[in-house]
Structure 1
Amino acid sequence: MTSHSYVGGVLLALAIGLELSGTILMKVSGGFARLWPSILMFACYGASFTLLNFAVKYMPLGVAYAIWSGVGITLITLAGHFFFGETMKAISLVWMGFILIGIIGLKWS
């Protein structure tokens, strides 16, 4: 891995973490009923998009976006289950696996 792809990967990982945080804060905000979680949600999403924007300087846009959205979908589904008690059927794990396989395939191609 070159130093440029490493920088892009780090930026992308941070963007994913902030997207996850923003989405969790969306749930915690209760539909904007709670002020601070709502403000923090917007800050996390803004920072996430900013870091994603910087990451695409180091990697193809399609790959960066697929990783950002696919990993984000997978992590938020797991967070919803473990932190908020949302139902997750076993088949959901299969479909999340397909998302991750697709991301890996896109990255390798």
Structure 2
Amino acid sequence: MSLVTIYLCLAGAIVAETIATIALAQSESLTKLVPSIISVICFVAAFWLLAFPLRVMPAGLVYAIWSGLGIVLITAVAWVWYKQVLDAPALIGLAFITVGVVIINVFSKSVIE
């Protein structure tokens, strides 16, 4: 599996998990059928896609990238769609998460074995 394919699978897992989380919030504790189904399908897709980078990358690093960028993406969607207000500490924290993911991918020799 090529490096591009691995990162595309990881990106797909992040997007699928973000959609699943947003749908889960809209499902009102799984009481609304359509958002509940979307959530389940997207969580399954996210874990399936996550399995591919785990074949060649350490689990801790895959999880750090997946969860870190997932947090940033979900927060961005909540900010745009739901008009959630982000104060300076929240923005600084999100910037630290993003910088951490970049450092892992650019400087770590353990990202691809």
The verdict on a shared fold, with TM-score over 0.5 as the criterion, is yes
Paired residue secondary structure (1:30): coil
Which of 42, 63, 73 is 2:71 aligned to? 73
The root-mean-square deviation of aligned C-alpha atoms, in Å, is 1.4
Q: Distance in 2 between matches of 1:6 and 1:25?
A: 28
Q: What TM-score does the superposition give when structure 2 sets the normalisation length? A: 0.86
Offset of residue 36 of structure 1:
1.1
Q: Which residue of 1 aligns with 2:99?
A: 101
Provide the rounded CA distance (Å) in 1 between the counterparts of 2:82 and 2:54: 32
Q: Deviations over 1:36-86 (max 9, x none)?
A: 101110110111011001121233322221111000000101111211222
Given the two structures, how large is their TM-score scaled by the length of structure 1?
Answer: 0.89
Aligned residue pairs, count: 107
Instruction: State the AA in 2 paired with 1:44.
Output: C
- Equivalent positions of 1:43-82 (< 5 A) are 43-82=41-80
- Give the deviation of 1:90 after TM superposition: 2.4
Cα offset for 1:95? 0.4
One-letter identity of the residue aligned with 1:103: V
- Equivalent pair of 1:8/1:57 in contact (CA under 8 Å): no
Identity of aligned residues (%): 36
1:91 and 2:86 equivalent?
no
- Secondary structure at the residue paired with 2:84? coil
- Letter of the aligned partner of 2:22 in structure 1? I
Q: CA deviation at 1:32?
A: 1.4
